[in-house]
Amino acid sequence: MSITNLLENWSDFRQQHPSDDRPHREYKWAMSIDLDACTGCNACSVACYAENNLPVVGKEKFLHGHSHHWIRIERYWANDGREFADQGAQFLPMLCQHCESAPCETVCPVGATNHTADGLNSQVYNRCVGSRYCNANCPYKARYFNWYDYPTTDNVWPEPMNQQLNPDVTVRGKGVMEKCTFCVQRLTVAKSNARSEGRSVLDGEVQTACQQVCPTGAISFGNLVDPLAKVGKQWMTQQVDLNKDKQAKDVAEEAAKLRGYRILEELRTYPSVMYLEQLREGSI
């Protein structure tokens, strides 16, 4: 990229989604997670560790907040002063929300995290200088920093365990930020296969690792642009619109039965993950 090109396209470089002038043409990857189905089993988290070469940091570092669970299960207790809540904890798998207007993207001093044409929030490890601004600006706290050199000095994957590493994903070294990628390595393969056959990726053709293992099928993933995709239908029935920070259903009365919502929508991050949860009597 020449300097003139960089200067000319500077405004493009930090262009914010969502915008009517830049609609997603072929793909817009999105997810929905049904919290009423989630049992908090953590299988999704384990699958993500295996798929994306996440280091297991151990108890001590975990307590320091140095863990790398790209998808973590948050627990919420409504115990009203009793020791244990009647219905147990409520679980919420939290991962990078792939915001259309991502707060992390605007603050990166080197442009290591930016938006792809497919509506993903990308993280380019070899560009990242480790300033950690993005993490500070992420309202979901879904970004994880490599405080140590896990593959070498910490020897997280001693021989022969390094054989389990996924060759399609970089093994990150010290000083870079990382986060859920929506399993972009799988998306790339699916897109390439589809392209060779001259079509778009079909719904269900590609799954994220967490979706694939979820025993209750709580996670759905797909292309919002595809009218046949399950995710798109879910978003539509729940009346959650990707490009709105205030949903129309919020004022409609009969919409109270709808379960879909996006976390911290009012911050205008326009997240790509929708959660489904029935409001319980007690929690209002």
Which residues contact another protein (rule: CB under 8 A)?
Answer: 1-3, 5, 114, 116-117, 120, 122, 124-127, 168-171, 184-185, 188, 192, 195-196
User: SS3 for 234-270, per residue?
Assistant: HHHHCCCCCCCCCCHHHCCCHHHHCCEECCCHHHCCC
Q: How is 71-132 classified by DSSP, letter by letter?
A: SEEEEE---TTSSS-TT--EEEEE-----TT-HHHHH-TT--EEE-TTS-EEE-TTT-----
Nearer to ligand SF4, 112 or 213 (CB): 213
- Which among 23, 8, 25, 16 has a CA at the least distance from the CA of 191? 25
Residue 183 tokens read as 């399993």
Question: How far apart, in whole angstroms, are the C-alpha atoms of residue 157 and residue 143?
Answer: 22
Q: What is the dihedral of CA 59, 63, 64, 66, to 10 degrees?
A: 60
Residue 216 lies near ligand SF4 (rule: CB under 6 A):
yes
Question: How far apart, in whole angstroms, are the C-alpha atoms of residue 221 and residue 119?
Answer: 13
Nearer to another protein, 15 or 185 (CB): 185
* 272 burial via Cβ count (<10 Å: 0-12, 13-18, 19+): buried
Residue 218 binding: pick among ligand SF4, another protein, none (C-beta 5-8 Å cut-off by kind): ligand SF4
The least distance separating ligand SF4 from the CB of residue 74, rounded to whole angstroms, comes to 10
Residue 192 binding: pick among ligand SF4, another protein, none (C-beta 5-8 Å cut-off by kind): another protein
Residue 39 lies near ligand SF4 (rule: CB under 6 A):
yes
Residue 52 binding: pick among another protein, ligand SF4, none (C-beta 5-8 Å cut-off by kind): ligand SF4
* Cis previous bond, 103, omega within 30: no
Residue 262 tokens read as 């996006």
The least distance separating another protein from the CB of residue 25, rounded to whole angstroms, comes to 13
What one-letter code names the amino acid at 145? F
Q: Fill in the per-residue mask, 54 to 93: x = in contact with ligand SF4 (CB under 6 A), - = not in contact.
A: ----------------xx-x-----------------x-x
Residue 89 binding: pick among another protein, ligand SF4, none (C-beta 5-8 Å cut-off by kind): none
Residue 93 binding: pick among ligand SF4, another protein, none (C-beta 5-8 Å cut-off by kind): ligand SF4
Instruction: State the number of binding residues for ligand SF4 (CB under 6 A).
Output: 29
Question: How far apart, in whole angstroms, are the C-alpha atoms of residue 111 and residue 123?
Answer: 9
Q: Fill in the per-residue mask, 193 to 212: x = in contact with ligand SF4 (CB under 6 A), - = not in contact.
A: ---------------xxx--
Q: CA 189, 191, 195 angle in degrees (round to 5)?
A: 120
Residue 11 binding: pick among ligand SF4, another protein, none (C-beta 5-8 Å cut-off by kind): none
Residue 42 lies near ligand SF4 (rule: CB under 6 A):
yes
Residue 1 binding: pick among ligand SF4, another protein, none (C-beta 5-8 Å cut-off by kind): another protein
- Residues near ligand SF4 (CB under 6 A) are 38-44, 47-48, 51-52, 70-71, 73, 91, 93, 95, 180-183, 208-210, 213-214, 216, 218-219
